[in-house]
């Protein structure tokens, strides 16, 4: 039996998502038996990037305004500079993220993904890592920032950048399999 055994995992992303930070974790979740769903700000498709260059588009499964966090076992927040900036400005996206923490469900965020966590008000008192430029934002929001490949704090998995994806992917699968924290 696979580690995630059919658990539904939400991937919250929009235009500007760093492609590999969406595709590699999604692949890991699906290989572990999870059902990945792309949640975004609007129906249709989103434009992924490889750094600052446009890459592929991905079909959205559900708009965040229509998504119920109770339907998902865990959440992944990929990075990219534009993606989390758009997400943190959307009240429905912020509410969606906060609901996972309120329910004690595991969450993974990589690179610039923690920007949305800051807006959701869920990093205070936690230890996290991220892309280095978020260090000040995270510490100002009450988090302790560490420069580590992957850090786990009570079900919250964070990593710094695409080079950390092997550790990030393995750790989210492990934490998602454990369930509520």
Which residue carries 């865990």 as its tokens?
74
Rounded Cα distance between 106 and 95, Å, is 16
Active site residues: 111-112
For 29, what's the count of Cα atoms within 13 Å in the CB-facing half-sphere? 27
- Backbone φ/ψ region at 154: left (φ over 0), alpha (ψ -120 to 50), beta: left
């Amino acid at each position: 039996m696979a580690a995630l055994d059919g658990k539904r995992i939400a991937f919250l992303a929009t235009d500007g998502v760093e492609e590999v930070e969406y595709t590699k974790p999604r692949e890991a979740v699906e290989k572990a038996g999870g059902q990945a769903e792309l949640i975004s700000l609007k129906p249709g498709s989103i434009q992924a990037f490889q750094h600052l260059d446009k890459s592929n588009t991905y079909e959205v499964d559900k708009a965040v305004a229509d998504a119920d966090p109770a339907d998902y076992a865990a959440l992944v927040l990929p990075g990219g500079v534009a993606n989390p900036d758009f997400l943190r400005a959307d009240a429905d996206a912020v509410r969606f993220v906060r609901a996972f923490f309120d329910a004690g469900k595991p969450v993974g965020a990589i690179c610039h993904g923690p920007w949305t966590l800051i807006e959701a008000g869920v990093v205070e008192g936690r230890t996290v890592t991220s892309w280095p430029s978020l260090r000040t934002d995270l510490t100002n929001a009450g988090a302790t920032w560490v420069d580590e490949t992957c850090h786990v704090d009570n079900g919250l998995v964070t990593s710094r950048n695409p080079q950390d994806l092997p550790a990030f992917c393995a750790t989210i699968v492990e934490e998602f399999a454990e369930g509520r924290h």
